[in-house]
Chain A
Amino acid sequence: MKAVVPFLAVLGLALAGWLGAGLSGAGAFFGLILPYGAALAFLAGLTWRVLSWARSPVPFNITTTCGQQYSLPWIRSSRLGNPHTRWGVAGRLMLEMLSFHSLMRNVRHEWVDDADGAAPRLIYRASLGLWIGALVFHYSLLMVLLRHARFFLDPVPAWLDGVEWLDSFLRIGTVPFYLSGLALLGGALFLCLRRLWTPWLRYLSLPADFFPLYLFLGIALTGCMMRYSSRVDIQAVKHFCMGLAGLHPSAPASIGPLFCAHITLACVLFAYLPFSKLVHMASLPLSPTRNMLGASRMEHHENPWNYPVSIHSYEEYENEYRGKMKAAGIPVEKEAP
């Protein structure tokens, strides 16, 4: 159920795009309302979301320390796992963002039978599937997004040619074959299947976990189809995209239903992103367990809402125990209350 409903939703969206292409008013819808609506929702939504995080203060330094602290000069501290400088914190965040470092640590636990008939043993095995899958998925997505910049830029900058050359070093006949498209499909498929395959992942997953993956699958699939099977008119697409980017949009008349399905899914993805778990792309740099100094005894951290609290003062304490303290020879402040 959790995996099926979102599948039907994405299928429905794709079909709506496909069929909608032929309706009257399709030009205005696909050429104007949908892309600009999605762009607006994406930008406004993401800004709102990040501001809503930033508006809440960070009252305490709650770094998760993943390595030796900076302490005595002869003990080597972990500069990235437990940074005591701002540079170290920046390095830790970069490492996390670029290499998904925490996922690299991943292991899975396993009970194995003991050969000697003793009680079963708990062991841990490296579990790098998620890390590799996530890297493949995210980097291929980045590649694909970069390649799409071609449609919005004229003249096409040289670095973009470089990206495409890198991406298409495998060629099928005369058609450049982009690895990133395949990797994106494979990555999204893997991330889907692992949710269905592992019992506890299947258990915890929500429709909101499958929906974006299906969107990516749909987008990648329609994109690949346009490139490799039912070729679309690239010049028309470029013209359409340049119009969008330059704020003088034109209807995508000669482009066809496949393209309409493709941009429908893409626009839904962008509009959906700020209101879903996909905002994780923006959250890491703000995460207080990762972006603060490890050596929190070194620098003062201010809590903007630190309010006074009632305590039991030493005076009250001594008043209660003065007699007994004196009898036991413990020094007191006052001889009598």
Chain B
Amino acid sequence: MSEPCNAEKPGKVAFDPTPPDWLKPNAKCAPGRWSYSAKPKALQTLGLANPRDWSPDQEDWKLPDNWKEIILQGLKERLDRYRSLRLFMDACVRCGACADKCHFFIGTGDPKNMPVLRAELLRSVYRGEMTLAGRLLGRLAGGRQLTPEVLKEWFYYFYQCTECRRCSVFCPFGIDQAEITMLGRELLNLLGLNINWVIDPAAKCLMTGNHLGITPHAFKDNLEFFADTIEEVTRVRVALPINKKGADVLFVAPSGDLLAEPGIFTLMGYLLVLHQSGLNYTWSTYASEGGNFGLFASHELMKRLNAKIYAEARRLGVKWVLGGECGHMWRVAHQYMETMNGPADFLQEPVSPITGTRFTNARSTRMVHIAEFTADLIHSGKLKLAPARNDRYRVTFHDSCNPARSMGLLEEPRYILRNVCQHFYDMPAETIREKTFCCGCGAGLGNEECMDLRMRGGIPRAQAVRSVREKHGVNLLSCMCAIDRAVLPTLMEKWVPEVGVAGLHELVGNALVLDGEKERTTNLRGEPLNGGEA
């Protein structure tokens, strides 16, 4: 194994073929590579299976007696419900094209972090328990029986996958490890094998409307604090419409932007653009979360949490929904929401009231990404911008996995960046757009306890940032995802310490010239402007 993550600089990570035979389960809980189990109370709130105190690093996982039956029955049901799963169980040729496309494999050298083998953990059981060849030939046909050790191995490795879908870009059959991880985690959830960093936010989201458990009055307090800050910087007081009936548009952002730096500056950016554009919009305290940690547990939980967005849009009588900068939120909004909780026939096909642009690409789901909205405003000449206000930054852009590979939102943010700052440099082609590397912390892995895994999984991204840092003096990594904003600062501090992190709309907020604003002397962070008009 390579140098541990407390080393000063990343060493070369070597392939580590242990155990020599991968069919032997390897369910060790290596330090820093696993997440704490979900608390019984959160499971009870959500009505999920087998709430109890347990820990993955202990021998006894307190499984129900018929655990094997539950899993095999659950697997059979899912094979009948998801063509993806059935196909992905049968069609893989183990060509290995996906192997080193995974940030966790590159960062850990652990062979079971190759997407192909992570999938084989499930496939081997499918073959061994459900196919004729596997039952007759056993190991010779790559089949395994489902044992407690195999189950533990599933848990260990399905929670070392961020569902980033990079492997599926390179697979000649489009086999998507995210789909296998999602369904694998769904199976584990049937036994109450889940992690706290997924289940706790999901339970909070169900009850309070957002992952962080922000209550309605605290939500308003936070927005007011941001409006105060904006007023200090610009002298303009932005309106804060909350739960307002008769608004044209419901705006939904990831709640992470309400709480911590640098996300709060992104949120100030939203407020500035929405204010200056004159859009008649509203926030909602009930649908106060765009993100969806249900996605990381089961399709059913995803649907339950997501249902609030359309329900609230219907209650408030808006025409369409606008969504903030969040990665996995847009996986759900773009690929699941309308199927799960639609049809959205009570909404209208989105049209920007400011520019008249019809967002035909959202004509069925009726939810527009704020990068699409802002790019359209800029292209239509509706925003006055002073990009020099961002001159202290030399900016690069991290494509978040989901907007890149489950949406294709690639040009809009780049168009915006080129308009709001004067020094923008893309990272190497192999590390951006549909080939973008994950932050290493998605799908519920952004917790403190699996820090070693996070820092290793982030190595490919950090190395790409390092290359533009050295070549172009880049000092700011911009992104379009709340999880990125929460975790990339730690990653940068670890591997490329001179580089900060900011959301796209923070930079928009800095550059945007408001009607009636004072001459700005600082950016939204309160840092003095370098050069430019101020």
Q: Which residues of A contact B (CB under 8 A)?
A: 5, 49, 52-72, 74-78, 81-82, 84, 96, 100, 102-103, 105-109, 111, 118-122, 124, 130, 134, 198-201, 203-209, 275-277, 279-280, 283-284, 286-290, 294-303, 305-306, 309-314, 317-318, 320-321, 324-325, 327-331, 333
User: With A57-B81, A288-B83 in contact, is A64–B335 under 8 Å at CB?
Assistant: no
Q: Which of A286, A305, A314 contacts B81 (CB 8 A)?
A: A305
Task: Answer whether residue B9 sits at the interface, using C-beta atoms and an 8 A cutoff.
Answer: yes
Cα-based distance from A103 to B364 in the complex (angstroms): 33
Flag if A103 contacts B83 (CB, 8 Å).
no
Task: Answer whether residue B147 sits at the interface, using C-beta atoms and an 8 A cutoff.
Answer: no
Apart from A64-B406, A122-B106, what are 8 other A-B pairs with CB-CB below 8 Å? A64-B168, A65-B405, A275-B132, A283-B173, A289-B168, A295-B361, A297-B333, A311-B307
Enumerate chain B residues within 8 angstroms of A124, measured Cβ to Cβ: 428, 430-431
Task: Answer whether residue B463 sits at the interface, using C-beta atoms and an 8 A cutoff.
Answer: yes
Task: Answer whether residue B286 sits at the interface, using C-beta atoms and an 8 A cutoff.
Answer: yes
Cα-based distance from A309 to B311 in the complex (angstroms): 13
Flag if A53 contacts B335 (CB, 8 Å).
no
Flag if A72 contacts B379 (CB, 8 Å).
yes
Q: Which of A62, A118, A302 contacts B84 (CB 8 A)?
A: A62
From 412 to 462 in chain B, residues with beta carbon under 8 angstroms from any chain A beta carbon are 412, 415, 428, 430-431, 433-435, 459-460
**Which of A52, A283, A329 has its CB near the most chain B CB atoms (within 10 A)?**
A283
Cα-based distance from A298 to B335 in the complex (angstroms): 10
Enumerate chain A residues within 8 angstroms of B179, measured Cβ to Cβ: 62, 289
Among B24-32, B85-93, B152-160, B251-259, the stretch that binds chain A is: B85-93
Flag if B311 contacts A314 (CB, 8 Å).
yes
Cα-based distance from A75 to B408 in the complex (angstroms): 12
User: With A53-B90, A200-B114, A314-B311 in contact, is A67–B375 under 8 Å at CB?
Assistant: no
Contact with A along B266-306 (1 / 0, CB 8 A): 00000000000000000001100000000000011001100
Cα-based distance from A34 to B435 in the complex (angstroms): 48
Flag if B409 contacts A103 (CB, 8 Å).
no
Min CB distance B466 to A, Å, is 8
Enumerate 25 A-B pairs (CB-CB under 8 Å) in ascending A order: A57-B81, A65-B407, A75-B415, A82-B408, A84-B361, A107-B430, A118-B9, A119-B11, A122-B10, A200-B15, A200-B17, A204-B96, A209-B93, A279-B90, A280-B92, A283-B173, A288-B87, A297-B333, A301-B338, A302-B339, A311-B206, A311-B307, A321-B285, A324-B216, A331-B242
Task: Answer whether residue B99 sits at the interface, using C-beta atoms and an 8 A cutoff.
Answer: yes
Task: Answer whether residue B468 sits at the interface, using C-beta atoms and an 8 A cutoff.
Answer: no
Flag if A67 contacts B174 (CB, 8 Å).
no
Q: Which of B169, B415, B428 contacts A102 (CB 8 A)?
A: B169
Task: Answer whether residue B217 sits at the interface, using C-beta atoms and an 8 A cutoff.
Answer: yes
Enumerate chain A residues within 8 angstroms of B141, measured Cβ to Cβ: 206-208
| Nearest B residue to A105, CB-CB | B170
Flag if B99 contacts A200 (CB, 8 Å).
yes
Flag if A69 contacts B361 (CB, 8 Å).
yes
Flag if B365 contacts A201 (CB, 8 Å).
no
Cα-based distance from A325 to B114 in the complex (angstroms): 49
| Nearest A residue to B242, CB-CB | A330
Flag if A66 contacts B169 (CB, 8 Å).
yes
From 1 to 58 in chain B, residues with beta carbon under 8 angstroms from any chain A beta carbon are 9-13, 15, 17, 22, 47
| Nearest A residue to B361, CB-CB | A71
Q: Which residues of B contact A (CB under 8 A)?
A: 9-13, 15, 17, 22, 47, 79-87, 90-97, 99-100, 106, 111, 114, 116-117, 120, 131-133, 140-142, 165, 168-176, 179, 206-209, 215-217, 220-221, 242-245, 285-286, 299-300, 303-304, 307-308, 311-312, 315, 333-336, 338-340, 342-343, 357, 359-367, 372, 375-376, 379, 404-412, 415, 428, 430-431, 433-435, 459-460, 463, 466-467
Enumerate chain A residues within 8 angstroms of B338, measured Cβ to Cβ: 297, 300-301
Min CB distance B1 to A, Å, is 14
Enumerate chain A residues within 8 angstroms of B83, measured Cβ to Cβ: 53-54, 56-58, 286, 288
Min CB distance B204 to A, Å, is 11
The 7 nearest A-B residue pairs measured at CB: A69-B408, A119-B9, A289-B174, A283-B91, A328-B217, A111-B12, A297-B365
Flag if A58 contacts B311 (CB, 8 Å).
no
Min CB distance A308 to B, Å, is 9
| Nearest B residue to A322, CB-CB | B216
